Amino acid sequence: MTLLMLAVVLIACATSNPIENDSTLISSGRRTKQSSTGWNGDSSRGVDGNTDGNYFRHSCTHSQSNTNNWWRVYFGSDYAVSKVVVYNRQDCCQDRINGTMVYVGSKYCGTIRYTQGRVIYSIDCNKAIGGDVTIRQQYNFLTLCEVKVYGKK
């Protein structure tokens, strides 16, 4: 093995994500539901594989109300959830994501804190066991442009 090949292997090992290595994407194409639907922002858009943050390209969910909102993806059986990755809207209203809470079943994983310019938010769920993931926004509209849940049986 040459020195260059060794350097490439070391860099790959140092930058790999151990959470993703022992889990797989479990949310894609699953059944979803949300508290309300506004502006044709159907809940299924949250797991359609399209991470485009421009709402008008039909890739984001949207609640009708600006209070007590939730979005949920169902797995059909229990999984150990490692993390939940949320893709935020980019064409406007990015700060609406602030304060959004993530749950596996009834177990709280964490809260998204809005950061200007940030599009992707990752919440560690520490292999919480549950049959669904719920994302709650109590004080604003809820718009999700993709939700990727990683876990294993």
Q: pLDDT tens across 13-64, in order?
A: 333 444 446 799 999 999 999 999 999 999 999 999 999 999 999 999 999 9
Spell out the residues 6+ positions from residue 43 whose beta carbon is closer than 8 angstroms to its own: 32, 33, 34, 37, 61, 71, 72
pLDDT higher than threshold 80 for residue 9: no
Q: What is the DSSP letter of 91?
A: S
Q: What's the predicted TM-score (pTM) here?
A: 0.86
Spell out the residues 6+ positions from residue 104 whose beta carbon is closer than 8 angstroms to its own: 81, 84, 125, 128, 129, 130, 132, 133
Quote the pLDDT of residue 22: 78
Q: How far apart are alpha carbons 51 and 145 in whole angstroms? A: 6
pLDDT higher than threshold 50 for residue 138: yes
Quote the pLDDT of residue 21: 60
Token look-up 């709402």 returns: 55
Question: What's the average model confidence in pLDDT over 69-93?
Answer: 98
Instruction: Decide if 76 contacts 147 (C-beta within 8 A).
Output: no
Tally of residues, the chain: 153
For residue 52, is it left (φ>0), alpha (ψ between -120 and 50) or beta?
A: beta
Quote the pLDDT of residue 13: 39
How far out from the chain centre does Cα 113 lie?
Answer: 14
